[in-house]
Amino acid sequence: MIIVGSGALIVIGLALLALGNQIILDGVSQGDGKISVNQDIIVSTNFDSQKTSVGIFAVQIMNLEENVFSAKVFDPLEIEIISLKVNEETVEKEFDVLESGIYKLVIKSSNDEESQVFGAIGPLPDEGEKSISYISVYVVIIGMVGLFGAGILKIKKRSI
């Protein structure tokens, strides 16, 4: 009975985890590819300033070199609102959404060699959306502890 209950908790936890990830990534635009001096990555998404006041973007670079990569975010009026040098493998930063419209993340390189890059831009998830992911992890852990406990009980009963 404990094994069935624990297995059900694990399945429920995994389903909640998948649902939570889908909710968090709703509205997030992603792009990846190779960049060089001649090739940029542009990722854009539509923001509604009535629904969200904070956006977030992330950049991940596979072959990081110092002072080679940059990321810029442009608002719907094509005004640069963020510009930064990417000196870490993964960078994540928030920005204010003041106007509704299409915001763009532009990732550039000053190197002739191609590098694999991933970029994403979208609304910052609220605490309710994030809590689904936390709850799902706890449910999976409880299910695993139950399975582990059932295994120990089974072993103890056999040794007696």
Domains recognised in the chain with CATH numbers = 2-159 (2.60.120.380)
Cα 56 to Cα 81: distance, rounded to the nearest angstrom: 12
Cα 106 to Cα 44: distance, rounded to the nearest angstrom: 9
Residue 93 confidence (pLDDT): 92
Alpha-carbon dihedral of residues 46, 122, 106, 99, nearest 10 degrees? Answer: 50
Mean pLDDT in order along the chain per 10 residues (160 residues):
82 82 75 88 90 90 79 93 89 91 93 88 77 81 87 79
Q: Which two tokens stand for residue 96?
A: 């204010």
pTM of the model: 0.69
Residue 87 confidence (pLDDT): 85
